[in-house]
Amino acid sequence: MKLRQPTDFLILEALEDRGRNVATNLAAHTGKSRKNINTRLPVLEDYGLVRKIGPAERSGLYEISSLGKAALVYQDQYDEVDDFESLIEGPSAGGDEGAEAQTSFARGDEDDDESE
């Protein structure tokens, strides 16, 4: 996962703060060009950090995913780790349960016990 800084994190922050949005609005919120935003959104979607939503396939409406929220939580560690993707996806199976719970919380995963 190769993120472009600060643009990609600005896009994620705008989607987190303002909710689902289109490139034109994201450009205004981030101060980046619409062309730049339109280039980065499909990349972020490929990484699973955002998802395209809406009734039409070409709607251009995006929202941040739980993985994108985790990326924001660990943003300050992006330059410090070799594998940012593994960091935000959490520990592998059989890992420390406390770390798993913390990462799950950071990603915004729901606790199954509370949803019943």
Tell whether the model's pLDDT for residue 64 goes beyond 80.
Answer: yes
Each residue's pLDDT tens digit, 10-44: 999 999 999 999 999 999 999 999 999 999 999 99
- On average, the pLDDT of the chain sits at 81
Q: How far apart are CA 50 and CA 65, in angstroms?
A: 5
The hierarchical CATH code for the domain 7-107 is: 1.10.10.10
Is the pLDDT at 109 greater than 90? The verdict is no
* Of 7 and 113, more confident: 7
Domains of the chain, by residue range, sit at: 7-107
* DSSP tag of 20: S
